[in-house]
Amino acid sequence: MPDFKEYPKNKLSIYIADPRVENWFLMPRWTPILTIIIIYYLVVLIGPILMENRRPYTLRNVLKIYNFVQVMISGYMFKEFVISAWQSSYSLQCQPVDRSNSPQAVRMAAACWWFFFSKVIDLLDTVFFILRKKNSQVTFLHVYHHGSMILNWWLAGKYFPGGQIFFQCTCNSFVHVVMYTYYFLSAFGPAVQKYLWWKRYLTQLQLIQFLAIIVHLIYGMSRTCDFPFVLNCYIIIYCITLISLFTNFYIEAYQHQRTDRLEIQAAIQEKRARSIAAGGTGTNNYANNSYMNNLRNGFIKNSSENGCSGPTMISNGYGTDVNGNGPMAYLRR
């Protein structure tokens, strides 16, 4: 294969497709990846219609296997990025793409390919939501995030397999290890879910990741780094859109949940007072213990039962019982 020295010594050379990945799966032409993206959006549009009159699939064992495999893939990628960067003496300040055929450079390119391919696998998250009729989880954020990542990383793997983007890949691989571990454990049901108190911190971890990537890229741009300026700008803008969407999700998912909890506590106190005034015991164990404990742990119709990745919210954004009633339904009984 051609060596890096065969390319013209100017920054335009980076926009030539990397010949090392020419024969790698899904990399040679645009057609396969565009076909996958089109099929994905068709599934998003048509899937809920096809499932409308069908019973939802449980898929609990399938989700356990799927999430476990995702943990393994993400862990493998994290290891490959860290080791490849370490052996190649990568710089956090500025790292151009190494297109040579050295073992370290090829290993980094292979890790970037795996990162791209993992985004193809991630599309199954949406498929599982639709098959289980969890359509409230197929939000704009979910579809935008999954649909755009696959194209972004196909382009990165074909033209820029390494260099500055190694930092983004490393961060995201680590986040996915944590995230899919959570979804793997949550797929075991309520017996395990009650210990997953750290669910809300997954979104915080995502936001920290995007901010770290932006800081890393801006710092590299300030040092006249030999890495495409346009690509840096695009990634920064893309991360800003994700920060905006994830922040909105976080506020909707957890701020409203906190408001619901306060309303429920006030209603419980009011009902208890009425019960005492009427000569009762003043207790409502079902509402007080069962419902409040579930809401406190975030498992009232919780999307963690889906066992899938991506931003997730309580079923309708705030919390419902199994019949779709709102958070005050138990207290009206």
261 three-state secondary structure: helix
If one compares 223 and 129, the residue with the highest pLDDT of the two is 129
pLDDT at 225: 78
Check residues 131 and 191 and name the one with the higher pLDDT.
131
What local confidence, expressed as pLDDT, does residue 145 receive? 95
Q: Is 196 helix (H, G, I), strand (E, B) or coil?
A: coil
Please say if the pLDDT value at position 65 is more than 70: yes
Annotated catalytic residues are: 145
Encode 63-96: b = buried (16+ Cβ within 10 Å), e = exposed. Answer: bbebbeebbebbbebbebbbebbeebebeeebbb
Q: What percentage of the chain exceeds 70 in pLDDT? A: 73
Locate all alpha helices (DSSP H) within the chain, ordered by sequence: 30-51, 60-87, 103-122, 124-131, 140-159, 165-186, 190-193, 200-222, 229-250, 256-277, 285, 292-297
Which is higher by pLDDT, 77 or 5? 77
Q: Average per-residue pLDDT in the chain?
A: 81
Q: How many Å apart are CA 179 and CA 167, to the nearest integer?
A: 18
DSSP label at 107?
H
Q: What pLDDT, on a 0 to 100 scale, did the predictor assign at position 279?
A: 66
Whether 313 and 251 have beta carbons less than 8 Å apart is answered as no
